């Protein structure tokens, strides 16, 4: 069996299973945010359940329109707070403790290797970087899971993606996944497990792995997953709140497709409007002027991402014809960025720094685009109207490309700044 099949089998009490099987499996963590949880809470009320299945396994995180941007957002967030209080949920994170959900849960050791996690947010697939099976589901499935501790699944087929060779300068997890999506398309892994491996993955740090698994959904994937190893162990051993288990695929496991990539041929990559699969090397896009740069989100708002952006922009200024917004993904990341002087670096460069929030990624707040404006963002989607006006444009990139772009006022690479 593959690693995905093994984790699902363990959670439904079977010795083995295969693609296409319908199963009912117990879940380790159930997740929802201020947009999706209110629907779940309403449906939970209709079920007639007396209480949640486990007050320590349900995470409610107001991060999309929080800090509350308007009255409707405030009402949505209040529903999470009230429900959490009524059911004594231990994993409710108020503003001030809150972070972008998919950065917060791994950081806090709430999701651990071997887990089965569902969340009413499509980027729940992020946690596959830890060797967990995690996937986005609908709010009604979350409601049922909050009551029963179980969810239904169709076991996905698995695809294997093998990365070998030497990474070029400024190429990391974001470039690898953008290149992959550009190769297979936004439906190239539809309802499939995307298993990432190879010598490059073996040495890829955890923040790069989280970025890759985060964007599996942008290729249609059911989940992204990486075999846990010493890098995983180093990450989780000091933070895991529960016991964990490492799974790995059998050597004779079946894959519907295997793709191999020579990373020496992959350059810093940008996704152009209006699909994540519309990829081109950043160096070919230098004639495109930009109005806004965003560094943050569940894809690239971690401390290492801020370090990368700061290292590029240090000693420079944001181009006077544009704006740059930096959003640390959690309070801990914000604090550490302050201690390292990264926040100072951004402010000295004339960038704005925000409290943790999903904010502009989904066109929520803290950086909405006007008609005709273009943004380079370290986020995960660039659909029509994703970050504001339907006639605006979003280009997806790594933090390094985003920071260089902020200096030049057009899509640029760190090499152009002599780095």
Report yes or no: 28 and 60 within 8 Å, Cβ to Cβ. no
pLDDT score, position 170: 97
User: What pLDDT, in 10s, does the model give residues 326-384?
Assistant: 999 999 999 999 999 999 999 999 999 999 999 999 999 999 999 999 999 999 999 99
**The CATH fold of domain 3-261:** Aconitase; domain 3 (3.30.499)
Instruction: Please report, for residues 239, 329, 379, 402, 408, the alpha-carbon distance to residue 414 in angstroms, rounded to integers and kept in the order given.
Output: 34, 23, 19, 9, 10
110 CB neighbour count, 10 Å cutoff: 23
Indicate whether 141 pLDDT > 90.
Answer: yes
Write down the pTM of the prediction: 0.95
pLDDT at 409: 97
Check pLDDT > 90 for residue 42: yes
What DSSP character marks residue 124? G
- The residue-averaged pLDDT of 297-312 equals 98
Dihedral angle over CA of 155, 222, 174, 367, nearest 10? -160
Residue 77: pLDDT above 90?
yes
Give the H or E element holding residue 352: strand 352-353
Half-sphere exposure of 26 (CA within 13 A, CB side): 10
- Which candidate, 24, 98, 30, 92, places its Cα nearest to that of 65? 98
Q: Tell me, what's the pLDDT at 418?
A: 85
Distances (CA, A) of 224 to 126, 239, 252, 267: 7, 22, 20, 22
Confidence class for position 298, pLDDT limits 50, 70, 90: very high
- With CA atoms as reference, report the closest residue to 410 among 345, 321, 310: 321
Euclidean distance between CA atoms 184 and 360, whole angstroms: 27
pLDDT of residue 61: 97
For CA atoms 274, 139, 99, 62, the dihedral sign is: positive
User: What digits encode the pLDDT tens for the residues 259-286?
Assistant: 999 999 999 999 999 999 999 999 999 9
The segment(s) of the chain belonging to CATH 3.30.499.10 are 3-261, 269-417
Q: Is the pLDDT of residue 188 over 90?
A: yes
pLDDT band at 419 (very low <50, low <70, confident <90, very high): confident
CB-based burial of residue 352 (10 Å sphere; 0-12 exposed, 13-18 middle, 19+ buried)? Answer: middle
pLDDT at 398: 98
CATH architecture of 269-417: 2-Layer Sandwich (3.30)
**219 alpha-carbon distance from chain centroid:** 13
What is the rounded average pLDDT for all residues in the chain? 97
CA–CA distances in Å: residue 217 to residues 40, 123, 253, 371, 400: 22, 7, 23, 28, 23
Q: How many CB atoms lie within 10 A of CB 347?
A: 12
């Amino acid at each position: 069996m593959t690693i995905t099949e093994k984790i699902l089998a363990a959670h439904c009490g079977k010795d083995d299973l295969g693609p296409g099987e319908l199963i009912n499996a117990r879940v380790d963590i159930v997740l929802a945010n201020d947009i999706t949880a209110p629907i779940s809470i309403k449906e939970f009320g209709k079920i007639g359940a007396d209480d949640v299945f486990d007050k320590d396994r349900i995470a409610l995180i107001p991060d999309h329109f929080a800090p509350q941007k308007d009255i409707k957002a405030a009402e949505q967030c209040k529903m999470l707070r009230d429900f959490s209080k009524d059911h004594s949920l231990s994993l409710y994170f108020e503003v001030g403790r809150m972070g972008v959900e998919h950065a917060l849960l791994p950081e806090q050791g709430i999701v651990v290797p071997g887990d089965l996690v569902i969340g009413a947010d499509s980027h729940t697939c992020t946690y596959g970087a830890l060797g967990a099976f995690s996937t986005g589901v609908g709010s009604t499935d979350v409601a049922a899971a909050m009551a029963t501790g179980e969810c239904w699944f169709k076991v996905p087929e698995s695809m294997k993606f093998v990365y070998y060779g030497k990474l070029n300068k400024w190429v990391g997890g974001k470039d690898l996944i953008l290149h992959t999506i550009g190769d297979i398309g936004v439906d190239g892994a539809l309802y499939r497990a995307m298993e990432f491996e190879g010598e490059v993955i073996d040495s890829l740090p955890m923040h790069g792995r989280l970025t890759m698994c985060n964007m599996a959904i942008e290729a249609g994937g059911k989940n992204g997953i990486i075999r846990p190893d010493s890098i995983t162990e180093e990450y989780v051993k000091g933070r895991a709140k529960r016991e964990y288990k490492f799974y790995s695929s059998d050597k004779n496991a079946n894959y519907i497709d295997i793709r191999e990539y020579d990373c020496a041929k992959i350059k810093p990559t940008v996704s152009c409007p209006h699909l994540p699969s519309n990829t081109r090397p950043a160096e070919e896009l230098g004639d495109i002027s930009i109005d806004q740069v965003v560094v943050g989100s569940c894809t690239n708002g971690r401390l290492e991402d801020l370090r990368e952006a700061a290292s590029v922009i240090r000693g420079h200024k944001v181009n006077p014809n544009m704006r740059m917004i930096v959003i640390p993904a959690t309070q801990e990341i914000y604090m550490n960025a302050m201690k390292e002087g990264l926040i100072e670096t951004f402010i000295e460069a004339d960038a704005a720094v925000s409290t943790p929030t999903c904010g502009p990624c989904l066109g929520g707040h803290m950086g909405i685009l006007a008609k005709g404006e273009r943004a380079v963002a370290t986020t995960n989607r660039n659909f029509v109207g994703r970050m504001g006006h339907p006639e605006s444009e979003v280009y997806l990139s790594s933090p390094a490309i985003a920071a260089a772009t902020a200096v030049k006022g057009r899509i640029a690479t760190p090499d152009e700044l002599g780095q």
